[in-house]
Structure 1
Amino acid sequence: MTLVVIGPVTRDLIEIGDESIQKIGGATYFQAYVFEEFFDDYLAIVNCDDEKLVGSFPDLNKVSVIKKEDTHFFINKYPDKNNFDIREQLSNFANIPILPDDLENILPEKIDAFVLNPLNRYDFPAETIEYLKTFEVPIFISVQGFLRCTDDKVNENYTIRLDNFNELTTILSGVDAIFMDEVEKNIIGTDYDVDEMVITNGSQGSRIVAGGEIKIPPVPCDDVVDTTGCGDTYMAAYVSQKLLAKSAENAGNFASVIASEKIKNFGPYCSNK
Structure 2
Amino acid sequence: MTLVVLGPVTRDLIVIGDESFDKVGGATYFQSFVFDKFYSDYLAVVNCSDETLIRDFPDSSKVKVIKKNNTHFFINRYPFKDNLNIRQQLSNFADIPILPSDLKGILPEDIDGFVLNPLNRYDFPVETIEYLKSFEVPIYLSVQGFLRLPDMQVNENCTIRLDCSDDLPSVLSGADAIFMDEAEAAIMGEVNGVGEVVITDGSNGSRIVSDREIRINAVPCSNVVDTTGCGDTYMAAYISKRLTGESIRKSGDFASGIASEKLKYFGHY
Superposition TM-score tier, normalisation by shorter sequence: over 0.9
Q: Which residue of structure 2 lines up, in the alignment, with residue 249 of structure 1? A: 249
Q: Which residue of structure 2 lines up, in the alignment, with residue 189 of structure 1? A: 189
Q: Which residue of structure 2 lines up, in the alignment, with residue 208 of structure 1? A: 208
TM-score, with structure 2 as normaliser: 0.99
Deviating beyond 2 angstroms after TM superposition, the runs of 4 or more aligned structure 1 residues are none
SS of match in other structure, 2:256: helix
Q: Structure 1: how far apart are the matches of 2:121 and 2:213? A: 28
Alignment of 1:22-101 (within 5 A): 22-101=22-101
Q: Which residue of structure 2 lines up, in the alignment, with residue 116 of structure 1? A: 116
AA partner of residue 51 (structure 1):
E
* Matched positions, count: 269
Q: Which residue of structure 2 lines up, in the alignment, with residue 17 of structure 1? A: 17
- How far residue 2 of structure 1 moved from its aligned partner, in angstroms, is 1.1
Q: Which residue of structure 2 lines up, in the alignment, with residue 6 of structure 1? A: 6
Matched, 1:161 2:125: no
The one-character-per-residue Cα deviations of 1:78-116 (angstroms, maximum 9, x if unpaired) are: 111111111110000000000000001100011010000
* Most deviating of 226-235 and 82-91: 82-91
AA partner of residue 148 (structure 1):
R
Aligned CA RMSD, in angstroms, stands at 0.5
The one-character-per-residue Cα deviations of 1:19-77 (angstroms, maximum 9, x if unpaired) are: 10000000000000000000000000000001111000000110000000000000001
Q: Which residue of structure 2 lines up, in the alignment, with residue 134 of structure 1? A: 134
- How far residue 192 of structure 1 moved from its aligned partner, in angstroms, is 1.9
AA partner of residue 11 (structure 1):
R
Q: Structure 2: how far apart are the matches of 1:169 and 1:158? A: 26
- Aligned sequence identity (%): 68
Stretches of structure 2 lacking an aligned partner (at least 5 in a row): none
AA partner of residue 218 (structure 1):
A
Q: Structure 2: how far apart are the matches of 1:248 and 1:18? A: 40
Q: Which residue of structure 1 lines up, in the alignment, with residue 172 of structure 2? A: 172
- How far residue 165 of structure 1 moved from its aligned partner, in angstroms, is 1.3
Q: Structure 1: how far apart are the matches of 2:27 and 2:191? A: 25
Stretches of structure 1 lacking an aligned partner (at least 5 in a row): none
SS of match in other structure, 1:32: helix
SS of match in other structure, 2:111: coil
The one-character-per-residue Cα deviations of 1:172-222 (angstroms, maximum 9, x if unpaired) are: 011100000001000011232100000000110000001100000000001
